[in-house]
Amino acid sequence: MNVFITDAGFSDVNTEREIIEGAGHTLHLKQCKTEEDLLNEVTTADALIVQWAPVSAKVIEALKQCKVIVRYGIGVDNVDLEAAKEKGIPVCNIPDYCIEEVADHALSMAFALSRQLPQTTARLRTGEWKITPPAPILPTAQTLFATAGFGRIAQMVLSKAKALGFNVAACDPYCPEEVIREKGVQSLNSEELFQKADILSLHLPLTKETHYYINKTTLAQMKQGSILVNTSRGGLVDIDALSTSLENHHLGGAGLDVFSEEPPEVSHPLFSSNKVILTSHTAWNSTASVPKLQKLAAEEAIRGLSGDTFKNKVN
């Protein structure tokens, strides 16, 4: 059978080729960027492995014999899950890779921002020398580090934050409060999350309900001087509202690894702020995470072709 990789930004796909061809199938590597590219290239696939290509309802309708769609990564917002479900095509993600990498990235951003490293560096580069930071800094022991979401990455973030001396909390309406508390984490409702968090790290899927989870209204509810970190999905944050909050000195800082449009426009005011750390969707990456992702995606595709039980089906 034919497995199509719709697009991939890796140096090679040797791992996938070894697994897929070892199982007796044929691998085809494409670099589709648009819906039209997909319609022209992959409609005969028995399995799709997707990175960023937009697998829309139109693309799914055109698939003639596809048995599974696998997304390289955790988020699946570039795949129309409902259309795939209606056509009987399982969609799978890879949630069990890069957990430690993303947690480390989120925590690194949060710690640097809490110590005001970007602001102090920017000030020093102008020749201004002061032995006090630009604004008051809370000691770690008095800082509430909270996550929106309590999945695998959020739990890893909070475990590491707790080890560093932060107070930790989480808000997840889909996770029972007792499960959160059993992990030694304070359980907050949505209102409490925005009002109490000194550092808020986002670990949510992108859905209709969570789109612009951080907006003008929720930013206004956050504590004066608090910090926002997003290593999850770009569409969770309205960067226009975020930029305004930073300019008005309400929010103390922000760390973003993801954006609603990637690459973002570097002319956006956010890019000129000295209160931000911005990275280019690199939180997932390490020398270990990339081959693990490729291996797990290929193995899930093989399960789809073989009729075996999926490890991570999301629709």
- What tens digit of pLDDT does each residue of 221-233 get? 999 999 999 999 9
Sign for the pseudo-dihedral over CA of 296, 57, 80, 6 = positive
Q: What b/e sequence results for 117-130 when a residue is b if at least 16 CB atoms lie within 10 Å of its CB, and e otherwise? A: ebbbeebeeeeeee
Burial of 184 (0-12, 13-18, 19+ CB in 10 A): exposed
* Phi, psi (deg, nearest 5) at residue 70: -115, 130
CA–CA dist 179, 214 (Å, integer): 25
For residue 88, the model assigns a pLDDT of 97
For residue 18, the model assigns a pLDDT of 98
Q: Which residues in the chain are classed under CATH 3.40.50.720?
A: 2-97+287-306, 99-278
For residue 159, the model assigns a pLDDT of 98
Q: Helix crossing, 99-114 with 117-125: angle to 10°?
A: 50
For residue 221, the model assigns a pLDDT of 98
Q: Report in angstroms the alpha-carbon separations of 52 from 35, 75, 225, 315.
A: 11, 10, 35, 18
Query: Where in the sequence numbering do the catalytic residues fall?
Result: 233, 262, 281
Cα 162–167–172 angle (5° rounding)? 90
For domain 2-97+287-306, the CATH architecture is: 3-Layer(aba) Sandwich (3.40)
For residue 307, the model assigns a pLDDT of 94
CA–CA dist 52, 272 (Å, integer): 28
Answer for the pair 227, 113: CB distance below 8 angstroms, yes or no.
yes
Give how far the C-alpha of residue 233 lies from the chain's centroid of Cα atoms, to the nearest Å: 4
Helix residue ranges, H only, the chain: 14-22, 35-41, 57-62, 81-86, 99-114, 117-125, 152-163, 177-182, 190-196, 216-221, 239-247, 289-306
Q: How many helices (H) and strands (E) does the chain have?
A: 12, 12
Whether the pTM exceeds 0.85: the reply is yes
Q: What percent of the chain has pLDDT over 70?
A: 100
For residue 19, the model assigns a pLDDT of 98
Residues of the chain with pLDDT under 50: none
Q: Helix crossing, 14-22 with 289-306: angle to 10°?
A: 20
Burial of 81 (0-12, 13-18, 19+ CB in 10 A): middle
Amino acid, res. 277:
I
Residue-wise pLDDT tens digits, 103-131: 999 999 999 999 999 999 999 999 999 99
Give how far the C-alpha of residue 63 lies from the chain's centroid of Cα atoms, to the nearest Å: 28
Superfamily of chain region 99-278: NAD(P)-binding Rossmann-like Domain (3.40.50.720)
Q: What is the DSSP letter of 217?
A: H
